[in-house]
A and B are shown apart, each in its own frame.
Chain A
Amino acid sequence: MRNLPFDTVLIANRGEIAVRIIKTLRELELRSAVVYHDLDAGAPAVSMADMAIPIIGRMPVAAHLDTAQIIAAAREASAGAIHPGYGFLSENADFARAVVESGFAFVGPTPEIIHLMGDKIQARNFVQRNGFPVVPSAIEEDDPASFIQRARSIEGPLLVKASAGGGGKGMRIVRDLDTLEDAIAQARSEAQRYFGDGRLYIERYIEKPRHIEVQLLGDCFGNVVHLFERECSVQRRFQKVIEEAPASTLSPGLRERICETAVSIARAANYRNAGTVEFIVHGGEFYFLEMNTRLQVEHPVTEMITGIDIVAEQLYVAGGYELRFSQPDIVSTGHSIEARVYAEAPERGFAPTTGKVLVLDYPSGPGLRIDSGISQGQQITTAFDSLLAKVIVHSSTRNEAALTAQRAMQELVLLGCETNASFLACVLADEQFLRGQVHTGYLDENPQLTACDSASDLSTFLAAAALLTRPVRDSADAVPELHASLGGWRNA
């Protein structure tokens, strides 16, 4: 183990990713500190961290977006570094700069790179300039007056996106150009609220593409390696649901070209720390989508196939170390699948669900990893993201991994707040998924998956519910024995 220039790391995040980071900090014998909003007081990250510092905000999300409070918390914790996790301030260049200027190490790339890549338009232009493929688009700030005009001239359905965005926030598909202006207004409002930046751009919406992304690691010495690709095509509402590595149906040649392209982009940007280049792949073509300058939600699948702890590498890079391996050292073994457990009701249009976690029991076994951010007794609200936990499996083949993941989804017991676990189990057992024939529109085209097991075992569930309901049992017990034994007898 190498010595790092800091002994305490403040995690400016919550939920499963905070827990995930704490685990690596423990491995590296570093102290962990975490900021939390009152709503998360009972969350596992808060109890697991060596220190937990409350932050406040008019809206819970706002607390986590408050740079000043977080830096104050880092000082209070005597932290030497701040890990932003994903979401919140992880891709905010101003935050990264404030962190660095306040004397802390920022576990992520430089503010300049975040700025470059965090602004989708700049990133796109940068990539295009360096000769890599991008999707036809209209960028608002090129000339705001003609923005809508230019958008209308792009052929095909359109996708409105926030320049500063990610994670599906502020996105709208427009198939009917009459609704374009409404979509722009809604997207701008969301973008303004989530990212504090209402700028938009519009690109051609490519139907049925695959979403392929490449995990990268770079250091301050100009080394950049890729940790192979991930496929994240199983999505709903631009939200990834099931991710896997490696991508199931990429030809070796295309796979290599994509990974090489990602590394080249990162090199051109003088990238350091962990990052991900996302592509959309259609047929044999691929286009640059965006670069995420942070740890991804789905990073565990890469960790499973490469055996590399990406968070540990982030910390070493942030601590000034050179990467411990070069490209040929990185080997992919087997197949990994991650399924995201959300607090949502797939059968009701994926509406968010809330409730108190009354029973929580995760499956365990070989090749199974659970990244969970919740614990029994915790209240699930809509104040934050609805991601509750990630179930990650690693097997020698894709089919085995899918089967293991499906079983894990069935064994996972989370009562008190409805989740998408049964839906995930259905998807993992779906023929089309098992054949690898997925694209980003796959879930939308297969709405039956949200109700694939709605009728089965109904009477067994009703029986258990009846036996657990006091008035139902009482009315059975109240009937005299003789009459119960005679049943619904009627004379003649």
Chain B
Amino acid sequence: MQRLASLIDVNSREFRLNELHNRRLAAELKERQRAVRLERPERDRERLRRQNKLFVRDRVEALLDPETPFLELSTLAANAAYDGEVPSAAQVVGIGIVAGREVIVHADDSSVKGGAWYPLSVKKIVRSLDIAIENRLPVVHLCDCGGGFLPLQAEFFADRHHAGRIFRNQSILSKMGVPQVALVVGQCIAGGAYVPALSEYNVIVQGSGAIFLGGPSVVQVATGQHVSVDELGGADMQTSVSGTADHLADSEMHAIAIARDIVARFKHPEKASIDRVAPEPPAYDASELYGIIPRDPRVHFDMREILARLVDGSRFHEYQPRYGRSLVCGFARLHGYQIGVLANNGVLFDDSALKGAHFIQLCDMNRTPLLFLQNITGFMVGREYERRGITKNGAKLLMAVSGAAVPKFTVICNHSHGAGTFAMAGRAFDPRFLFTWPQAQISAMGADQATRVLTDVKAKQLAVDDRPLSAQDYEATRQSILEEYRKRSSAYYATSEIWDDGILDPVDTRTALAIAVSASLNAPIETPHYGIFRM
């Protein structure tokens, strides 16, 4: 494979200014992640100590094999919700190694609101179990949940992907033969009680662990019965009387040791076999990405420069380099795994859509996972393009993306708008993992264009009401609409709403994707078959 030759001048003013900007964004990301991971009011820390409980981060670290990677997902979930008071949506989720097995770790964070489930907590847990189902990853639950946050129950209780989905997903995992281990390291109340109950294996900690459907106060209201936590659902009762829990642990560390022993006996997965060779680092340093990603999102950049800092040896076998050039397609290797890359180098034209659809089928046929690198403002519009069948050809690309059986991975590097978001394996198209870079914008329409449309609509309405906007008011309205629009199309908003699996520092992309590709191979890859392509 040919090595990509970078045309970037690392000594240019442009490069240095971009670098300054993007390093600042990366530092901000790191700081925000650090804060949601570790910053807790002292009284909450103190409460944990009093309850003889470990902080969730320490639990996760103790559970994992030392010196192995942990890809944390949706760290900044709920950062723009609940006044920012529910860091990480009170959940820690990630892919890690426990006793040598790739697993999903899901942990309640009882240092936040006593571990209560908020709507986005539920969404995050459901997503973690979707990942487990799609990739057949065993799950280790660290349960310490005080139940759902009742005032917001309408947002997490009844709908298809609300709380019930957690238990449905657990049951489906079990049916698929994908085992789960639950560690009851705190109370598991109400719905939370089903998490250990629906796990193949569970361990409960003497003293701090308890499982019950209704807590003592609920029992008293419902039946008038006075009952203690231990009597109701303590570790001793649940292991020796009810059989709801399997193992009694003396301490959290003991529980973790037992859980690790359980996971160690899981069958070693027979992973989907895809082409793999010995890994090779890229020829160009990943940190140069900071100087390449333009500080102004409107400035075009060549995705090959990104690829040169992402793939093995910076080698890239480009497919149809002379055709449909706004969509760069080709083969590369990531930590030795062969992947097929589709990367935007401009708006999608009908030829780029046809090329993309064709390339997806190629990759699907030879069992090559797909990586989508998004920087897409949408499909080209206009009479000329409609006559060429841009909609029909775009539909072919959507059909190919939806139908491909190989694992798909998406990174939103910059713009993600319009039908381009869908065609480039957006969230709705079930890529196994979707990550975002800090400066990315995700919205139906670009902010400038959308703001103009929205402001014009508003001005017209007011004109109808005979209250025409002055030029000054028009500008003020436009500014306020733009600000709100920008906020709600930012990467931070997207990740807050769990439209992605997390924001990545661009230099971490290669490692994160390697872990994701490896995880995806735990599920078998089905034989290719597609719907009808409109010809």
Q: Which of B6-14, B162-170, B291-299, B503-511 contacts A (4 or more CB under 8 A)?
A: B503-511
- In the complex where A480-B100, A492-B29, A492-B30 touch, is A487 in contact with B68 (Cβ < 8 A)? yes
Q: Which of A484, A489, A490, A492 has the most CB of B within 10 A?
A: A492
- In the complex where A487-B68, A488-B69, A491-B508 touch, is A479 in contact with B518 (Cβ < 8 A)? no
* Contact present for A487 and B67 (CB under 8 Å): yes
Residues of B within 8 A of A477 (CB): 100
* Contact present for B508 and A484 (CB under 8 Å): no
B90 at the interface (CB under 8 A from A): no
Expressed in whole angstroms, the Cα–Cα distance for A471 and B75 within the complex equals: 33
When C-beta atoms are compared, the residue in chain A nearest to B95 turns out to be A483
Q: Return A193 CB to nearest CB of chain B, in Å.
A: 44
* Contact present for A475 and B518 (CB under 8 Å): no
* Contact present for B264 and A491 (CB under 8 Å): no
Interface size class of B (residues with CB under 8 A): 20 to 34
Residues of B within 8 A of A480 (CB): 97, 100, 102, 518
For residues 75 through 115 of chain A, which have their beta carbon under 8 Å from a beta carbon of chain B?
none
Residues of A within 8 A of B502 (CB): 491
* Contact present for A483 and B68 (CB under 8 Å): yes
Q: Which of A475, A487, A488, A491 contacts B100 (CB 8 A)?
A: A475
Q: 1/0 per position for A452-492, CB-CB distance to B under 8 A?
A: 00000000000000000000000101111011111111111
Residues of B within 8 A of A489 (CB): 69-70, 511
Q: Return B76 CB to nearest CB of chain A, in Å.
A: 10
* Contact present for B67 and A482 (CB under 8 Å): no
Expressed in whole angstroms, the Cα–Cα distance for A479 and B69 within the complex equals: 11
Q: Which of B68, B71, B101, B279 contacts A491 (CB 8 A)?
A: B71
B72 at the interface (CB under 8 A from A): yes
Residues of A within 8 A of B335 (CB): 482
B365 at the interface (CB under 8 A from A): no
* Contact present for A482 and B71 (CB under 8 Å): no
Q: Return A459 CB to nearest CB of chain B, in Å.
A: 15
Q: Which of A478, A479, A483, A488 contacts B515 (CB 8 A)?
A: A483
- In the complex where A479-B100, A480-B97 touch, is A491 in contact with B518 (Cβ < 8 A)? no
Residues of A within 8 A of B26 (CB): 492
Q: Return B204 CB to nearest CB of chain A, in Å.
A: 25
B44 at the interface (CB under 8 A from A): no
When C-beta atoms are compared, the residue in chain A nearest to B71 turns out to be A491
* Contact present for A478 and B264 (CB under 8 Å): yes
Residues of B within 8 A of A485 (CB): 279
B246 at the interface (CB under 8 A from A): no
Q: Return B269 CB to nearest CB of chain A, in Å.
A: 10
Expressed in whole angstroms, the Cα–Cα distance for A480 and B100 within the complex equals: 7
* Contact present for B72 and A479 (CB under 8 Å): no
Q: Return A240 CB to nearest CB of chain B, in Å.
A: 48
Q: Return A336 CB to nearest CB of chain B, in Å.
A: 52
Expressed in whole angstroms, the Cα–Cα distance for A477 and B68 within the complex equals: 12
Q: Return B439 CB to nearest CB of chain A, in Å.
A: 15
* Contact present for B504 and A482 (CB under 8 Å): no
When C-beta atoms are compared, the residue in chain B nearest to A478 turns out to be B100
Residues of A within 8 A of B69 (CB): 483, 486-490
* Contact present for B97 and A491 (CB under 8 Å): no
* Contact present for A478 and B101 (CB under 8 Å): yes
Residues of A within 8 A of B504 (CB): 491-492
* Contact present for A482 and B33 (CB under 8 Å): no
Q: Return B263 CB to nearest CB of chain A, in Å.
A: 10
* Contact present for A486 and B100 (CB under 8 Å): no
Q: Which of B66, B505, B514 contacts A486 (CB 8 A)?
A: B514
Residues of A within 8 A of B71 (CB): 491
* Contact present for A491 and B66 (CB under 8 Å): no
Q: Return A424 CB to nearest CB of chain B, in Å.
A: 38
Residues of A within 8 A of B68 (CB): 479, 483-484, 486-488
For residues 262 through 277 of chain B, which have their beta carbon under 8 Å from a beta carbon of chain A?
264
When C-beta atoms are compared, the residue in chain B nearest to A489 turns out to be B69
Q: 1/0 per position for B483-523, CB-CB distance to A under 8 A?
A: 00000000000000000001011001001101100100000
Residues of B within 8 A of A478 (CB): 99-101, 264
Residues of B within 8 A of A492 (CB): 26, 29-30, 33, 75, 504-505, 508
Expressed in whole angstroms, the Cα–Cα distance for A480 and B69 within the complex equals: 11
Expressed in whole angstroms, the Cα–Cα distance for A484 and B67 within the complex equals: 7
Residues of A within 8 A of B67 (CB): 484, 487-488
B65 at the interface (CB under 8 A from A): yes
Q: Return B362 CB to nearest CB of chain A, in Å.
A: 25
* Contact present for B97 and A479 (CB under 8 Å): yes
Residues of A within 8 A of B97 (CB): 479-480, 483
When C-beta atoms are compared, the residue in chain B nearest to A479 turns out to be B100
Q: Return B58 CB to nearest CB of chain A, in Å.
A: 14
Expressed in whole angstroms, the Cα–Cα distance for A479 and B66 within the complex equals: 10
- In the complex where A475-B99, A480-B100 touch, is A491 in contact with B505 (Cβ < 8 A)? yes
Q: 1/0 per position for A53-76, CB-CB distance to B under 8 A?
A: 000000000000000000000000
Expressed in whole angstroms, the Cα–Cα distance for A475 and B75 within the complex equals: 28
Residues of A within 8 A of B33 (CB): 491-492
Residues of B within 8 A of A486 (CB): 68-69, 511, 514-515
Expressed in whole angstroms, the Cα–Cα distance for A216 and B264 within the complex equals: 69
Q: 1/0 per position for B46-80, CB-CB distance to A under 8 A?
A: 00000000000000000001111111100100000
* Contact present for B99 and A490 (CB under 8 Å): no
Q: Which of A475, A482, A490, A491 contacts B65 (CB 8 A)?
A: A475
Q: Return A128 CB to nearest CB of chain B, in Å.
A: 67
Expressed in whole angstroms, the Cα–Cα distance for A478 and B100 within the complex equals: 4
Expressed in whole angstroms, the Cα–Cα distance for A484 and B508 within the complex equals: 17
Q: Return A364 CB to nearest CB of chain B, in Å.
A: 43
Q: Return A144 CB to nearest CB of chain B, in Å.
A: 59
When C-beta atoms are compared, the residue in chain A nearest to B26 turns out to be A492
Residues of B within 8 A of A484 (CB): 67-68
Expressed in whole angstroms, the Cα–Cα distance for A259 and B33 within the complex equals: 84
Expressed in whole angstroms, the Cα–Cα distance for A347 and B445 within the complex equals: 76
Expressed in whole angstroms, the Cα–Cα distance for A484 and B515 within the complex equals: 11
Q: Which of A475, A479, A491 contacts B512 (CB 8 A)?
A: A491
Residues of A within 8 A of B514 (CB): 482, 486
Q: Return A282 CB to nearest CB of chain B, in Å.
A: 58
Q: 1/0 per position for A116-138, CB-CB distance to B under 8 A?
A: 00000000000000000000000
Q: 1/0 per position for B27-40, CB-CB distance to A under 8 A?
A: 00110010000000
Expressed in whole angstroms, the Cα–Cα distance for A436 and B371 within the complex equals: 77
Q: Return B299 CB to nearest CB of chain A, in Å.
A: 25
Expressed in whole angstroms, the Cα–Cα distance for A489 and B95 within the complex equals: 12
Expressed in whole angstroms, the Cα–Cα distance for A482 and B264 within the complex equals: 18
Expressed in whole angstroms, the Cα–Cα distance for A54 and B71 within the complex equals: 69
Q: Which of A478, A485, A489, A491 has the most CB of B within 10 A?
A: A491
Residues of A within 8 A of B102 (CB): 480, 483
Expressed in whole angstroms, the Cα–Cα distance for A5 and B514 within the complex equals: 88
Q: Which of A479, A483, A485 has the most CB of B within 10 A?
A: A483
Q: Return B325 CB to nearest CB of chain A, in Å.
A: 33
When C-beta atoms are compared, the residue in chain A nearest to B336 turns out to be A482
When C-beta atoms are compared, the residue in chain A nearest to B30 turns out to be A492
When C-beta atoms are compared, the residue in chain A nearest to B514 turns out to be A482
When C-beta atoms are compared, the residue in chain A nearest to B32 turns out to be A492
Beyond known contacts A480-B518, A482-B514: 14 more, CB 8 A cutoff: A475-B100, A479-B65, A480-B97, A480-B102, A483-B68, A483-B515, A486-B69, A487-B68, A488-B66, A489-B70, A490-B72, A491-B33, A491-B75, A491-B505
Identify the 8 closest CB pairs spanning chains A and B, nearest first.
A478-B100, A489-B69, A486-B69, A492-B30, A488-B67, A492-B505, A483-B68, A479-B100
> Can you report 24 A-B residue pairs in the complex whose CB atoms are below 8 A from each other?
A475-B264, A478-B264, A479-B68, A479-B97, A480-B100, A482-B279, A482-B515, A483-B515, A484-B67, A486-B69, A486-B515, A487-B67, A488-B67, A488-B69, A489-B69, A491-B504, A491-B505, A491-B508, A492-B29, A492-B30, A492-B33, A492-B504, A492-B505, A492-B508
